[in-house]
Amino acid sequence: MGKIVVLSGAGLSAESGLGTFRDAGGIWSRYDLNDVATPEGFARDPSQVHAFYNARRANLAGARPNAAHAALARLQAARGATLVTQNVDTLLEQAGANDVLHMHGRLDRAKCAACGHDWDAPLAMQAEDPCPACAARATRPDIVWFGEMPKELDIIEARIAAADLFVAIGTSGTVYPAAGFVDMARACGVATLELNLEASGSVFDRGIYGPASEIVPAWVA
Ligand code: BV8
């Protein structure tokens, strides 16, 4: 198994209690993503967006990595795997992983909407918090919202093109450009594998299905 690139989604952290987005009862069934995960929603009502992410930051504070996070940290230590995640939680880091490519940002980081400065987020954040660099009262979560450019795309796409195996774990393959990574891998002749609770509908060479905390350690072993 030469160079491996792993893309993870909310299913990786589901068994740590962080919830997913599009499963029954998921986050998007309780919140309108246009209100809490778009720049327009933030401009309309920054307090509502901060309340949404403050609640998720509090949820994360009580969560622990599960066996799947630990297995991916081991895979990275043993094989130098590139860990890309759509998740904004830090459970992979808490399990010992390094250099995780958070393409949708991170809950533990804040950003100034005025000057772009970013810093470690407090547990509860509000828009009136002054930016440490320019003092503007334009604090926002350092999260990639719909319509915003994902982070680290160049390095992610270069790693996928040069990989021997692309693995997607716990993602519904709904959100682009992440959902298109498997097609890019296949176009580059890279083998593809899906690990999920059930088939997402995207086309992979192979699939292993079951709860991440069981199938990921078994696959990594
Ligand atoms: C952009 C914020 C411009 C963080 C999120 C084509 C190309 C480019 C863009 C688009 C395009 N078509 C449409 C677009 C626009 C849009 C988009 O994709 N819309 C969709 C809805 C159609 N994309 C964007 O706006 C992106 N930006 O386009 O910029 C651009 C881009 C490239 C080049 C030039 C210009 C921005 C996307 C990021 C938006 N931010 N969230 C946050 O609040 O968390 S997206 C949101 O969905 C989350 O970040 C989440 O990570 C992401 C994906 O969801 P999943 O992780 O897959 O979770 P989901 O609930 O859907 O599925 C869970 C899965 O787990 C299921 O498969 C389930 O079976 C499985 N599971 C459950 N339990 C378990 C399990 N598996 C294993 N074990 C278990 N126990």
pLDDT of residue 1: 62
Where b means 16+ CB within 10 Å and e means fewer, 163-198 reads: bebbbbbbbbbebeebbebbeebeeeebbbbbbbbe
- Residues carrying an active site annotation: 104
Residue nearest to atom 34 of ligand 1 (CA): 149
Instruction: Indicate whether 122 pLDDT > 70.
Output: yes
Is residue 78 located within the same domain as residue 186?
yes
For 56-77, write each residue's pLDDT tens digit. Answer: 999 999 999 999 999 999 999 9
- Enumerate residues lining ligand 1, CB below 6 A: 9-11, 14-15, 20-23, 26, 37, 86-88, 104, 143-150, 170-172, 174-177, 196-198, 200, 211-212
Is residue 70 located within the same domain as residue 90?
yes
DSSP per-residue codes, 90-106:
-HHHHTT--S-EETTEE
Is residue 99 located within the same domain as residue 114?
no
For 3-62, write each residue's pLDDT tens digit. Answer: 999 999 999 999 999 989 888 888 888 899 999 999 999 999 999 999 999 999 999 999
Is residue 57 located within the same domain as residue 75?
no
> Rounded to two decimals, what is the model's pTM?
0.96
Is residue 88 located within the same domain as residue 133?
no
Over pLDDT 70: what percentage of the chain?
Answer: 100
> Which CATH number belongs to the domain containing residue 196 in this structure?
3.40.50.1220
Residue numbers of the domain that contains 88: 1-18+65-104+149-221
pLDDT of residue 140: 96
Over pLDDT 90: what percentage of the chain?
Answer: 92
Q: Is 4 annotated as a binding residue?
A: no
Provide the number of structural domains found in the chain: 2
Q: Is 18 annotated as a binding residue?
A: yes
Is residue 159 located within the same domain as residue 78?
yes
Is residue 3 located within the same domain as residue 76?
yes
Q: Residue written as tokens 């307090």?
A: 47
Q: Is 115 annotated as a binding residue?
A: yes
Instruction: Indicate whether 87 pLDDT > 80.
Output: yes
Residue nearest to atom 37 of ligand 1 (CA): 146
Q: Residue written as tokens 């580059």?
A: 188
Is residue 91 located within the same domain as residue 42?
no
Amino acid identity for residue 25 in this structure: G
Q: What average pLDDT does the segment 79-104 reach?
A: 98
Is residue 157 located within the same domain as residue 220?
yes
Which ligand 1 atom minimizes the distance to the CA of 28?
60
Is residue 2 located within the same domain as residue 26?
no
